[in-house]
Chain A
């Protein structure tokens, strides 16, 4: 049986994203990810709280609705920066699709990228890193990235996810691991 609440040493239960995932998606929880919960938090926080409050088992285990609400707010605050970025991504995606900017760019990108492989290499290097939960992040050294297509290829070929100098394996997992003021907690499974 999957444990839905983590019991702290002081005897109080702490609400987790996994709790929300299981409460929200019930039997499908394992097929969903914490990011789905954060998307809900970003788009309709109050609606999400109402759905969670309707889960009697969870409310009971948290010691009532007041405690559930308090913990929900704390969880929302803890993941605030991620939630804001989730909201920004949604806004960005909707705006550029609605305005047709992506479609326009993509229509010319195929032939352009063939002539200028650095664009292809950079976008594909991003693709290799996108959605990776921990360990592989760009350092932001874009000048190094662009120092030459050959160099970029060489670095990437050195092994994406193994020793790629473009990615910084030292970057701490986010969030909830106590970095940069984020309260401690287990690494998020995004």
Chain B
């Protein structure tokens, strides 16, 4: 399994998991910091560009959803696993480190399978790289 780059709080969530899930997971300290602001978030969202037809279709239709059921059906119609790497990268960049932290915590809190831990590891590595990229240009 790939390493998990976790903050102290996330490590506590990981350690609270059943041993069968946490065993074998290599945990590394995520020590990078990033000061999020609404301005930074706004810029990231503004410069993100999507090309994947499924995402563009979702965006167009989302504007016209009239009910929760309609929106739920729309969300369920998108297979995120088939989104292009490029667009997923743009989305994760726009979400930023804090958005990814929410996802990672959510995954760890609800983990019941080994694949959940693998997913947390992937997202944590993506956040690690995102922090490095953002902090390099901020320096």
Which A residue's beta carbon lies closest to that of B86? Answer: A93
* Contact assessment for A126 and B75 in the assembled complex, using a CB-CB cutoff below 8 Å: no
Q: A112-B119, A190-B46 are in contact. Are A119 and B68 (CB under 8 A)?
A: no
A109 at the binding interface (Cβ < 8 Å): yes
Give complex CA distance A82, B46 in Å.
9
Query: Can you name 15 extra interface pairs (CB under 8 A) apart from A102-B126, A137-B45?
Result: A89-B93, A91-B136, A91-B137, A106-B82, A112-B115, A112-B119, A120-B78, A122-B102, A124-B75, A131-B49, A140-B98, A143-B102, A146-B106, A171-B38, A179-B39
Q: List 20 A-B contacts (CB under 8 A).
A: A86-B47, A89-B47, A95-B129, A101-B126, A105-B122, A108-B81, A111-B81, A122-B103, A123-B88, A124-B55, A127-B58, A129-B94, A130-B49, A130-B91, A131-B45, A131-B50, A137-B41, A171-B42, A174-B42, A188-B46
B30 at the binding interface (Cβ < 8 Å): no
Q: Contact residues of B with A, CB < 8 Å? A: 2, 36, 38-50, 55, 58-59, 62-63, 65, 67-68, 70-72, 75-76, 78-83, 85-86, 88-91, 93-95, 98-99, 101-103, 105-107, 110, 115-116, 118-119, 122-123, 125-126, 129-130, 132-134, 136-138
Whole-angstrom distance between the Cβ of B105 and the nearest chain A Cβ: 8
* Contact assessment for A35 and B49 in the assembled complex, using a CB-CB cutoff below 8 Å: yes
* Contact assessment for B122 and A108 in the assembled complex, using a CB-CB cutoff below 8 Å: yes
* Contact assessment for A130 and B89 in the assembled complex, using a CB-CB cutoff below 8 Å: no
Which B residue's beta carbon lies closest to that of A137? Answer: B42
| Residues on A with beta carbons closer than 8 Å to the beta carbon of B59 | 127-128
* Contact assessment for B91 and A140 in the assembled complex, using a CB-CB cutoff below 8 Å: no
Which B residue's beta carbon lies closest to that of A167? Answer: B45
Whole-angstrom distance between the Cβ of B77 and the nearest chain A Cβ: 10
Whole-angstrom distance between the Cβ of B113 and the nearest chain A Cβ: 9
Whole-angstrom distance between the Cβ of A96 and the nearest chain B Cβ: 5
Q: A123-B91, A124-B58 are in contact. Are A112 and B43 (CB under 8 A)?
A: no
| Residues on A with beta carbons closer than 8 Å to the beta carbon of B70 | 157
| Residues on B with beta carbons closer than 8 Å to the beta carbon of A161 | 63
Whole-angstrom distance between the Cβ of B97 and the nearest chain A Cβ: 11
* Contact assessment for A133 and B71 in the assembled complex, using a CB-CB cutoff below 8 Å: no
| Residues on A with beta carbons closer than 8 Å to the beta carbon of B102 | 122, 142-143, 145-146
* Contact assessment for A174 and B39 in the assembled complex, using a CB-CB cutoff below 8 Å: yes
Which A residue's beta carbon lies closest to that of B78? Answer: A124
A107 at the binding interface (Cβ < 8 Å): yes
* Contact assessment for B46 and A105 in the assembled complex, using a CB-CB cutoff below 8 Å: no
* Contact assessment for B68 and A154 in the assembled complex, using a CB-CB cutoff below 8 Å: yes
Give complex CA distance A60, B56 in Å.
42
Q: A113-B80, A116-B107, A130-B48 are in contact. Are A122 and B38 (CB under 8 A)?
A: no
